[in-house]
Structure 1
Amino acid sequence: MARKPPVSTLVLLVRHGQTPTTGTVLPGRAPDLHLSDAGRAQAEAAAERLQGLPIDALYTSPLERARETAEPTERLTNLTASLDDGLLECDFGEWTGEKLTALAKLPQWRTVQQAPSTFRFPGGESFVELQSRMIATMERLRAAHPGGVVVCFSHADPIKAILTHALGTHLDHFQRVDVGTGSISAIQWPDGAAPIVRMVNSTGGPLAALRSG
């Protein structure tokens, strides 16, 4: 008798849409940061791309910009996104709210870019902790939806951390992965087997075919 293929869960990772401070400030977990008009358009576009997928569940970071990105998908799927702290942005500690131009002048910035596995944000989270949190979150969601399709709305660094893990590369290669606002990445998680990265930083085209792969 032929052996059945392992049950495989498809996880789609959507970075929140653009905000008024995207690319200029390290917002971290600061509250009351909402999508810009461009970000809302990106959220609508992401929802349209997800149409045709048999989505079992939606999960979102509790931060406003992620929740607002999930709203168009909630409307189109008639599903309510569950808030999940595992999808939160990295805790940047004392760097929260600082301008990127100012941070780039610090000697520690070189470590962030070249050896993130050795770095902890002052008063905040380390990249190792961030990646461990995301791995645990994906394992939990995969177990909750075996063989299903799960969409997660999160932030650039958490998505980059789990993609680096799924690709089987060292955390120090973290900065080589690009995850733009409104982009969608996809990881196939077969039960008992290594994850398969199906898509990274995608910003155009329907995604229904992902489930047939």
Structure 2
Amino acid sequence: MTATTPSAPATPPSTLLLLVRHGQTPTTGTVLPGLAPGLHLSDGGRVQAQRVAERLAALPVDGIYSSPLERAWETAEPTAACTGLKVNEHAGLIECDFGAWTGAALAELARLPQWQTVQHTPSAFRFPDGESFAQMQARMVGTLEGLYTAHAGGVVVCFSHADPIKAAVAHALGTHLDLFQRILISPCSVSVISYVEGQAPAVLMVNSTLESLSGLRAS
């Protein structure tokens, strides 16, 4: 009899989730908009959305998901047009609920004593009548886990907001939530997390605004 060589175990497929922050709005950097409806992209934000769509078009995208808020949805639309896919609304990708702070000017909030907690110990903070950072992170991480399970081995683009993306990246890096404010997520930037069943996620890219995405592939 001829001895047979045992075959190597199959490599679990990786799933790429690309997290895209929405483009600029008229209040970006000055106001905490939160869940308030009616905030649309600025002219500059629409240009950013088109540019990121052109970058994403280089990938074999299997699904597009967006926060329900207008600024995220409008950012997703050019990518849908470039890929021929529809945009799927997903509430799990929505902005943090800032509660009573919704719509407040950042300059005014920065004067509050609670702002130091927001910046340095966010894991201990809950927005008045709103969501805590820990709740936001758990929601976002659970959403991404569901999406990579639904699209195993594929490439999924998720249009969301700065704080949820920062929290997801921090979780994937194994970084404590109290340090997540150190992560910069710019308008229309792309951050990439690779998921493989049974393994810890791997962060492949953070806050990319210029690099080509053509080399990214799910395996």
User: Does TM, normalized by the shorter one, top 0.5?
Assistant: yes
Deviates more, 1:55-64 or 1:2-11: 2-11
Aligned positions of 1:1-213 closer than 5 A = 1-211=7-217
Q: Percent identity?
A: 63
SS across alignment from 2:215:
helix
Matched-pair contact (CA < 8 Å) for 1:51–1:206? no
Runs of 5+ consecutive residues of structure 2 not aligned to the other structure: 1-6
What's the TM-score, normalizing by structure 1? Answer: 0.98
Deviations 1:150-199 (A, max 9, x none): 00000000000100000001000110000000100000001110000000
Runs of 5+ consecutive residues of structure 1 not aligned to the other structure: none
Matched-pair contact (CA < 8 Å) for 1:43–1:70? yes
Aligned-partner residue type, residue 77 of structure 2: E
Q: How many residues align?
A: 213
Report the CA distance between 1:208 and its aligned residue.
Answer: 1.6
> Deviating runs (4+, > 2 A) in structure 1?
none
SS across alignment from 2:216:
helix
What's the TM-score, normalizing by structure 2? Answer: 0.96
SS across alignment from 1:198:
strand
CA–CA distance in 1 between the matches of 2:157 and 2:53?
A: 10
SS across alignment from 1:197:
strand
Deviations 1:70-109 (A, max 9, x none): 0110100111110000000000000000000000000000
CA–CA distance in 1 between the matches of 2:94 and 2:57?
A: 25
Report the CA distance between 1:210 and its aligned residue.
Answer: 1.1
SS across alignment from 1:47:
helix
